[in-house]
Amino acid sequence: MAGAMLALQPSIAERLTGARVGRRRTLVDRSMRTLALVAALLCAVPLIAVLGFVAANGIAAFSLDLITRPPRALGIGGGAANAVVGTLQMVPLAALIAVPVGVLGAVYVAEFAGRRSARVIRFCADVLVGVPSILIGIFVFTFLVLPFKQFNGFAGAVALAVIMVPVVMRTTEESLNLVPNALREASLALGVPVWRTVLSVVLRTGMPGILTGTMLAIARAMGETAPLLFTALGSRVVNVGDFGRPMDALPLFIYVNARQPVDALNQQAWGAAFLLLLVVLIINVAVRARSWGRRIG
């Protein structure tokens, strides 16, 4: 009996081999953890560098006059009120166009479409997200600028809406897919029509996700420059409500002033860049805080 017990015990060589294997596994695990940490830090470095660089150059040029005063028609000085007013008009109009289209498209894909048609629509939305924004600007330019022979703010809003639609649609669809089927079945069991179930139960339950996607789409649209170059063009005149004429926006203001060989205009571009960055950051932080609050709740 004692001999059998001794035979079952591992030999010294086996124990040494097991120790070496354990050390090797520990070394590999620590190496992979370190590599993953370095990769995560490298992902954060560009964001931190951009934020720091824009803030360092833009804070000094940021002032109340930059937001409230229009630029001078001829000469140097003034502010970016024309760009601020233009952004506050084109982006909400783009959201007014894109949000209903994106939400209704997501409702169709999530609630009514067959598997094949839903796959095709998702693929089209994903491709549209990756289409360069300058191509969208050229597309809208062909249909809303060339026929009227006039750059206009409405064309700029439409171009931004085209960029926003797939973002709103995909985020809304994901939110609707998270709604438990038990809620749908309970509503249908009570005799509620399908369309009323979608409006009163599914959309209401997924509303936080829909709002989150809308805010993210707005944040992206606010920073687009290329499509506005072909549509709204920009203007040094404060344009309030006239979407049939050229209209300025913060990205256009930054682009134009940053290219000028005048330090004062370059400083205005830095101030406008800091303002745009601040607005986009506030929107993104609000979205993350909302999502974090829902998880905590």
CA angle 95, 237, 72 (to 5 degrees): 135
pLDDT digits 0-9 by tens, 34-69? 999 999 999 889 989 999 999 999 999 999 999 999
d(C-alpha 280, C-alpha 47), whole Å: 13
Average pLDDT of the residues in 22-41? 89
Nearest to 251 by CA among 94, 86, 136, 56: 86
pLDDT digits 0-9 by tens, 143-155? 999 999 999 999 9
Token digits for 173?
């669809």
Spell out the domains of the chain, with CATH numbers in brackets: 64-296 (1.10.3720.10)
Nearest to 99 by CA among 218, 190, 4, 232: 218
pLDDT digits 0-9 by tens, 162-199? 999 999 999 999 999 999 999 999 998 999 999 899 99
- pLDDT over threshold 60, residue 295: no
pLDDT of residue 6: 47
- pLDDT over threshold 60, residue 17: yes
pLDDT of residue 24: 83
- 1-15, 59-73, 115-129, 204-218: range with lowest mean pLDDT: 1-15
Average pLDDT, the chain: 89
User: Residue 75 — pLDDT band, cuts 50, 70, 90?
Assistant: low
pLDDT of residue 23: 81
Instruction: Give Cα 136 distance to the centre of its chain.
Output: 17
- pTM, two decimal places: 0.86
> In angstroms, what CA-CA distances link 184 with 173, 190, 197, 201, 208?
16, 10, 7, 7, 18
Q: Residues near 2 by Cβ (< 8 Å), separated by ≥ 6?
A: none
- pLDDT over threshold 60, residue 4: no
pLDDT of residue 13: 62
Average pLDDT of the residues in 234-242? 92
pLDDT of residue 284: 83
pLDDT of residue 291: 63
Phi first, then psi, for residue 167 (nearest 5°) are -65, -45
Task: Count the Cβ atoms, other than its own, within 10 Å of residue 55.
Answer: 16
User: Residue 8 — pLDDT band, cuts 50, 70, 90?
Assistant: very low
Instruction: Give Cα 133 distance to the centre of its chain.
Output: 13
pLDDT digits 0-9 by tens, 224-234? 999 999 999 99
Instruction: Give Cα 78 distance to the centre of its chain.
Output: 31
- Give the percent of the chain with pLDDT over 70: 90
